[in-house]
Amino acid sequence: QAQVSSEIGGGLENKYRANHQPIVGECTVMVLGSGHSLLTGLSATQQLSPTALARLVEGVRQLKLSQQNTENTGICRLVVSGWNGGREGLAHAEVMALAAQELGVSKEQIITFPEARDTIEELLSMKILIGDAPFRLVTSATHMPRAIRVARSLGLNPEASPSNFLAGGGYWWRLEADNLVLSQASIHEYVGILWLDVKAWWVN
* DSSP 8-state secondary structure symbol assigned to residue 86: T
**Homologous superfamily (CATH) for 19-164:** HUPs (3.40.50.620)
pLDDT value at position 24? 82
Q: Is the pLDDT of residue 115 over 70?
A: yes
Judged by DSSP in three states, 3 sits in: helix
pLDDT value at position 174? 44
The amino acid occupying position 201 is: W
Least confident stretch, 16-20, 108-112, 123-127, 182-186 = 182-186
Q: Strands 134-138, 27-31: parallel, antiparallel or unpaired by DSSP?
A: parallel
Q: Could you tell me which residue, 196 or 55, shows the higher pLDDT?
A: 55
- Residue ranges of the chain that CATH labels 3.40.50.620: 19-164
Q: What integer best gives the mean pLDDT of the chain?
A: 82
Q: Do the beta carbons of residue 114 and residue 94 sit within 8 Å?
A: yes
Least confident stretch, 32-36, 73-77, 144-148, 175-179 = 175-179
Q: How confident is the model at residue 26 (pLDDT cuts 50, 70, 90)?
A: confident
pTM equals: 0.78
* DSSP 8-state secondary structure symbol assigned to residue 25: S
Q: How confident is the model at residue 40 (pLDDT cuts 50, 70, 90)?
A: confident
What average pLDDT does range 18-41 have in this prediction?
A: 91
- The sign of the CA dihedral 48, 50, 55, 57 is positive
Q: Is the pLDDT of residue 8 over 80?
A: no
